[in-house]
Amino acid sequence: MKRALLVAVLVAFLTGGYSFAQTEFQPSVSSTAKIADEGTTVTRRDVLNFTGVEITCTDDAGNERTNCALDTGLATGTSGTIPKFGSSNTLVDSIVTESGTTATVAGSVNTTGGVDVQGAAGITLSNDETITNAVDGTVKVLGILSVRDSSDLNATGGGVAHIGSSDTDYLALDPNEIQSMTGGAAGELHINTHGGGTNVHSVTDGVFSVNTSDLYVEALGDIGAGTTDPDGKFHIWAGSSGGSPSGDFIVEDDAYVNLTLSSPSDKTGRIDFGDVLSNNAGRIEYHHSADRMDFDAGATHTLSITSAG
């Protein structure tokens, strides 16, 4: 009778008829049971409830180890994928994978702090992705933005590219104009070579200048060469004559004034005077090959002066 009872208990114990607590996380350990009447001990693998349980690992000599691996027999997941807790006691695949020295996120990365990229690799956009500020749609670079190799820096979408030190002082570029802004208003635009040898200057009232006064074009179209205050349509100024010249074409100097018409020795040099009736109603012409000066009036030759007088 006792032997039959022992067999029944062993069968129930080994086949799972004996009840133990279970959770989602179920590593297998060895548990023992002892039948007091017979003094017999049997061992089977059972489920351990980890609630409030501390697990330690020891070696064969009984020394506690600082690291150990626990084989639950229930490990699942994708190789190379970093796991995450799907619930308080369940591990599932995350969207982060790792291969060698490369980590890949299959989705978006949101951060409440900064992103620090170290090393020479930098940030690479493999396809047609963009970098966008979700607040105002802008991307701000604190420092130097470099475009190297044969790449271009493109600003598309009909917007304006701003380059400057503040929101009020900047250079604005769009498909139709280049504009300098100073203090929030249109300012002066300077175009210089790297060494500063050339200065193209434009200001808000429509004046255009090269190196301040070397070439100066007023808003009304008067041109000054050497002056920022032309007295005629084209005023060549090398110094003040002391007077107030006027005319469409003015040559002014504080010393001798020289106007030269130069042509080859077998050609002529001339000045024509025209009107609505004739393009050359009057003419002064010099023939280099004949050493002769001709004067025309009313579109008719009237006087010649030769080198012999």
Helix, strand or coil, per DSSP, at residue 28: strand
Closest CA to 2 of 31, 46, 42, 37: 37
The CB density around residue 113, as the number of other CB atoms within 10 Å, is 5
For the cut 70, the answer to whether the pLDDT of residue 269 exceeds it is yes
What is the per-residue pLDDT for 48? 53
**Domain contains 78:** yes
How far apart are the C-alpha atoms of 62 and 71, rounded to whole Å?
Answer: 20
User: 32, 63, 96 — which closes off a domain?
Assistant: 96
- DSSP letter (8 states) at residue 63: P
**What is the token pair recorded at 56?**
């330690």
How far apart are the C-alpha atoms of 113 and 90, rounded to whole Å?
Answer: 29
How far apart are the C-alpha atoms of 119 and 88, rounded to whole Å?
Answer: 37
What is the per-residue pLDDT for 172? 78
How far apart are the C-alpha atoms of 82 and 23, rounded to whole Å?
Answer: 24
The mean pLDDT of 12-29, rounded to a whole number, is: 43
For the cut 70, the answer to whether the pLDDT of residue 159 exceeds it is no
The mean pLDDT of 95-101, rounded to a whole number, is: 89
How far apart are the C-alpha atoms of 33 and 36, rounded to whole Å?
Answer: 9
What is the per-residue pLDDT for 257? 92
What is the per-residue pLDDT for 2? 43
**Domain contains 184:** no
Q: 32 lies in which domain range?
A: 1-96
**What is the token pair recorded at 195?**
């060494």
The mean pLDDT of 222-227, rounded to a whole number, is: 93
- 224 confidence band (pLDDT: 50, 70, 90): very high
**What is the token pair recorded at 123?**
């940030």
- DSSP letter (8 states) at residue 225: E
User: 81, 96, 111 — which closes off a domain?
Assistant: 96
Closest CA to 189 of 176, 175, 173: 173
**Domain contains 113:** no
**Domain contains 119:** no
For the cut 80, the answer to whether the pLDDT of residue 85 exceeds it is yes
For the cut 80, the answer to whether the pLDDT of residue 214 exceeds it is yes
The number of C-alpha atoms within 13 Å of 229 and in the hemisphere containing its C-beta is 4
What is the per-residue pLDDT for 268? 94
**Domain contains 219:** no
What integer best gives the mean pLDDT of the chain?
Answer: 74
Give ∠ CA 155-178-129 in degrees, rounded to 5: 5
Percent of the chain with pLDDT over 70: 58
What is the per-residue pLDDT for 24? 40
Closest CA to 249 of 273, 213, 281: 273
Helix, strand or coil, per DSSP, at residue 234: strand
For the cut 90, the answer to whether the pLDDT of residue 286 exceeds it is yes
**Domain contains 152:** no
The mean pLDDT of 177-188, rounded to a whole number, is: 73
Helix, strand or coil, per DSSP, at residue 99: strand
Count of domains observed in the chain: 2
User: 55, 80, 96 — which closes off a domain?
Assistant: 96
**Domain contains 53:** yes
**Domain contains 191:** no
Q: Which of 20-24, 41-45, 112-116, 222-226 has the lowest mean pLDDT?
A: 20-24
For the cut 60, the answer to whether the pLDDT of residue 91 exceeds it is yes
Q: Which residues contact 7 (CB under 8 A, 6 or more apart)?
A: none
Between these two residues, 177 and 67, which has the higher pLDDT value?
A: 177
How far apart are the C-alpha atoms of 284 and 119, rounded to whole Å?
Answer: 77
Between these two residues, 140 and 241, which has the higher pLDDT value?
A: 241
Between these two residues, 68 and 254, which has the higher pLDDT value?
A: 254
